[in-house]
Amino acid sequence: MNYLLNTVFILAIVLVPASSAFAQIIPQRGPYDIGFEVYDSDPDESVELRTAVWYPTVQNAGGNSAAYPWHGGEWHYESPFLGVTDSDQIPSGESFPIVAMSHGWGAWHTQFSYLGEALASHGYVVTAPYHSTNDVGPRADELLQTVTTLLDRSNSADDKLHGVADSDSIVLGGYSWGSPTTTSAVSKAASTGIDIDAVVLVDGSPNANFNVDIPVLHIGGGNAVLNHVRSRIDSSGFYTIDIGSGDDSVRSHHWSFGVNGCQIRESVRQAGLVAGATEEEIRQSVRPDSFWLGCDANYIPPTEVQERMKVHTLAFLESVIKDNHHGRPLIAPNHQTTAGDLWITVSVDSSHASKGLAVMLTDPEGRSIGLDAESGEMIDDFAGETIGTLRRARRDVTFGIPQELLLPGEYTLAAVGTTLDESQTYSIELGTSIDRGEDIVFSQFQVVSGSVEPNQAIDPFRFTLSTPERTAPTIDELFAAIREGTGGDLYDVSFDGFVDSEDIRAWVHQIANTYFGDANLDGEFNAADLTLVFESGQYEDGVGGNSIWSTGDWNGDGEFDSRDFVLAFQDGGYEEGPRPAAVPVPEPSSVWLFLVAIPMARACIFVVKENFALSDNEVLH
């Protein structure tokens, strides 16, 4: 029995390795190395406009390792991300889209270093000013100034950045207070001769309604931000990824979207010590205290937040700027299926919010939801399950139908301009929202526009929803794609931009709606599954890579061993019956795993002994 207890103890502490990316839909690092420098982008003014720029260089470019300034520029720390140099070896004959980013209130220009490095490695020039003020108007001017100066440098034959920038592809973006800075800069850009092609907003909101005919991406944390931003932005294509607002109830901290203190503190500490600073001076240099909060275990780790932000930003830019749609499923769920919540926005170009349209939607079974234009009564055949502003005629009417209420078939949308006093232009937008566990992904596009007269109906708009046709891979096909690094977007069943162990978890919990350990995939993990896997005779058989799901390989490494038992029993489904539908399972902590793995592993051994009448040694080698 001592041997049994010792063996079970080993089972308890051999944990399945943390998720790591094997094949990536969009790799974190692209084909280019990364150059970096800081320069004054407004040398004609008395106040220096320090500006950071990340740019693509050839692979294995020469140059010195570049460092980021800190503590008023007195200290310099090495990049903890992909790494940068001061190389001037820009790829010959190539020019790259410009992405100009505005930092948050009281922050600094290298706040986007992790994003600047990633984008530059994929062929973008990223520029970011160190704003001299927190006033939105002047900040917007400074953001545009960095674009103008970068273009001037790119046009200068004797500049190291000669030819690097593509003047026909310009993106503006901002984080936190940089979001209203960005939207203000977009409205000013036309007067400066700069054409903006897309906008990226990071965990921030415009300070006024933002109506543009270019694509907009918003990445943030918390559905309160999502709903607020969605109500203020009207664009030809609007995409939102809301990290930390899904069913799993984990949160992402606002600071995690910029460079977070926990990511750079050791680098900053070493830089400070080299400069002769004390530990307290170093601590003071990273005030305010909120700078450290993203490191709190109650939040999604900043590295994970930023991985998703880089992948989704790249998917957006590659699609709308470079016309490469490989990663588009990450940011734009299929709007013609019942795979997510349906959102509809009907707008008129009225100067009064209360003057607008009465809207009515009818589904394939004849159920209706909306405002009856003739009687003024609210019709609701969905028993109050919808969300939105259908109870009044308004300039902007937005409402949502939850996925569980959607049916495949034809829908009809009708609208009447009941409170208008003159002819107005209207538009209809369709959107889809999908909860992916930790994230919510939303996208919306204009599908029709026209004019509507007072008390006249628009032409009924009809659209069809179908049942999703995406065919998921088998679990063994997913295992093989991960091991071989060959997975494409078909295998990204967790929709996070990677093909890795998170896709295994999503396949088991969401697609199969079962538990780890359910070898026969009948929806339960019980003694029948243990009988099946031990009958295969592959438990620690010394034959490499010969196991599949039905023979005991539940973590995808091709082997049936103790790690598969740990994973299965930590999942908590043994003899629990069928897994409840759509109930997320939080990731257990290491302490919890340590406490429960021993009795669970022991239970596993006893069940095996009962079915096979084998000794401890025969079961556990």
More confident residue, 492 or 620: 492
Q: Model confidence over 90-101: pLDDT tens digits?
A: 998 899 999 999
Lowest-confidence pick of 53-57, 62-66, 67-71, 399-403: 67-71
Q: Is residue 452 part of a domain?
A: yes
- For residues 523 and 521, give the distance between their C-alpha atoms in angstroms, rounded to a whole number: 5
Lowest-confidence pick of 223-227, 367-371, 585-589: 585-589
Backbone φ/ψ region at 8: left (φ over 0), alpha (ψ -120 to 50), beta: alpha
- Residue 594 pLDDT grade (very low, low, confident, very high; cuts 50, 70, 90): very low
Q: Which of 58, 66, 136, 52 is nearest to 91 (CA)?
A: 58
Domain boundary among 423, 443, 465: 465
pLDDT at 510: 82
Domain boundary among 266, 299, 332: 299
Residue 168 clears pLDDT 60, i.e. is over it: yes
For tokens 């820009």, what's the residue? Answer: 90
Q: Is residue 357 part of a domain?
A: yes
Q: Which of 146, 221, 131 is nearest to 177 (CA)?
A: 131
SS3 of residue 201 by DSSP: strand
For tokens 């607020």, what's the residue? Answer: 228
Q: Is residue 207 part of a domain?
A: no
Residues in contact with 400: Cβ distance below 8 Å, sequence separation at least 6, in sequence order: 341, 342, 343, 344, 386, 387, 388, 433
- For residues 474 and 567, give the distance between their C-alpha atoms in angstroms, rounded to a whole number: 19
Structure tokens at 479: 């295992």
- For residues 113 and 101, give the distance between their C-alpha atoms in angstroms, rounded to a whole number: 11
Q: Do both 73 and 156 map to the same domain?
A: yes
Q: Is residue 559 part of a domain?
A: yes
Q: Is residue 330 part of a domain?
A: no
Q: Which residues pair with 416 in a beta bridge?
A: 358, 457
Residue 264 CA to its chain's centroid (Å): 22
Q: Do both 158 and 60 map to the same domain?
A: yes
Q: Model confidence over 391-404: pLDDT tens digits?
A: 777 788 888 999 89
Residue 301 clears pLDDT 70, i.e. is over it: yes
Q: Which residues pair with 463 in a beta bridge?
A: 411
> How much of the chain exceeds pLDDT 90, in percent?
40
Section 334-355 average pLDDT: 82
Residue 595: how many CB atoms within 10 A of its CB?
13
Structure tokens at 411: 């829908």
Residue 36 clears pLDDT 90, i.e. is over it: yes
Structure tokens at 617: 């040694």
pTM of the entire structure?
0.75
* Strand bridging mode 358-362 / 368-371: antiparallel
Q: b or e along 369-392 (b: 16 or more beta carbons within 10 Å of the residue's beta carbon)?
A: bbbebeeeeebeeeeeebebbbee
Residue 597's H or E segment, with its range, is helix 590-612
Asked if 192 and 144 touch (Cβ cutoff 8 Å), the reply is yes
Q: Do both 389 and 495 map to the same domain?
A: no
- Residue 17 pLDDT grade (very low, low, confident, very high; cuts 50, 70, 90): very low
Q: Which residues pair with 24 in a beta bridge?
A: 498
Section 254-268 average pLDDT: 78
Q: Is residue 450 part of a domain?
A: yes
- For residues 190 and 181, give the distance between their C-alpha atoms in angstroms, rounded to a whole number: 15
Look up the CATH number of the domain holding residue 45: 3.40.50.1820
Residue 461: how many CB atoms within 10 A of its CB?
18
Asked if 605 and 616 touch (Cβ cutoff 8 Å), the reply is yes
Q: Model confidence over 411-445: pLDDT tens digits?
A: 999 999 888 888 889 999 999 988 776 778 889 99
Asked if 393 and 418 touch (Cβ cutoff 8 Å), the reply is yes
Q: Which residues pair with 21 in a beta bridge?
A: 500
3-state SS string for 112-131: HHHHHHHHHHCCCEEEEECC
Structure tokens at 430: 């369709």
Residue 376 clears pLDDT 60, i.e. is over it: yes
Q: Do both 499 and 456 map to the same domain?
A: no
What single DSSP character describes residue 292?
G
- For residues 517 and 607, give the distance between their C-alpha atoms in angstroms, rounded to a whole number: 14
Q: Which of 58, 177, 168, 57 is nearest to 108 (CA)?
A: 177
Q: Do both 524 and 596 map to the same domain?
A: yes
Q: Do both 413 and 503 map to the same domain?
A: no
Q: Do both 138 and 287 map to the same domain?
A: yes
- For residues 38 and 150, give the distance between their C-alpha atoms in angstroms, rounded to a whole number: 12
Q: Could you tell me where the DSSP H helices lie in 220-260?
A: 223-232
- Residue 200 pLDDT grade (very low, low, confident, very high; cuts 50, 70, 90): very high
Structure tokens at 614: 């084998």
Backbone CA torsion sign across 589, 592, 593, 594? positive
Classify residue 303 by burial, with Cβ atoms within 10 Å: 0-12, 13-18, 19+. middle
Q: How far is CA 469 from CA 20, 336, 337, 365, in A?
A: 29, 11, 8, 22
> DSSP assignment of 450-465, as one string?
EEE-TT-BPPPEEEEE
Could you give the dihedral angle defined by the CA atoms of residues 531, 532, 538 and 539, in that order, rounded to the nearest 10 degrees? -40
Q: Do both 381 and 398 map to the same domain?
A: yes
Percent helix, strand and coil across the chain, each rounded to 5? 30, 25, 45
- Residue 55 pLDDT grade (very low, low, confident, very high; cuts 50, 70, 90): very high
Q: Do both 449 and 581 map to the same domain?
A: no
Residue 86: how many CB atoms within 10 A of its CB?
16
- Residue 291 pLDDT grade (very low, low, confident, very high; cuts 50, 70, 90): low
Q: Do both 11 and 65 map to the same domain?
A: no
- For residues 605 and 602, give the distance between their C-alpha atoms in angstroms, rounded to a whole number: 5
* Angle subtended by helix axes 113-121 and 302-320, to nearest 10: 40
Count of domains for the chain: 3
Domain boundary among 465, 495, 529: 465
3-state SS string for 323-362: CCCCCHHHHCCCCCECCCEEEEEEEECCCCCCCCEEEEEE
Q: Is residue 582 part of a domain?
A: yes
Q: Do both 258 and 400 map to the same domain?
A: no
Q: Do both 493 and 536 map to the same domain?
A: yes
Q: Which of 311, 288, 152 is nearest to 219 (CA)?
A: 311
Radius of gyration of the chain (CA): 28
Q: Is residue 600 part of a domain?
A: yes
- For residues 606 and 91, give the distance between their C-alpha atoms in angstroms, rounded to a whole number: 64
Section 600-609 average pLDDT: 34
Residue 185 clears pLDDT 90, i.e. is over it: yes
Give residue 538's domain range: 2-21+471-620
* Angle subtended by helix axes 562-570 and 590-612, to nearest 10: 110
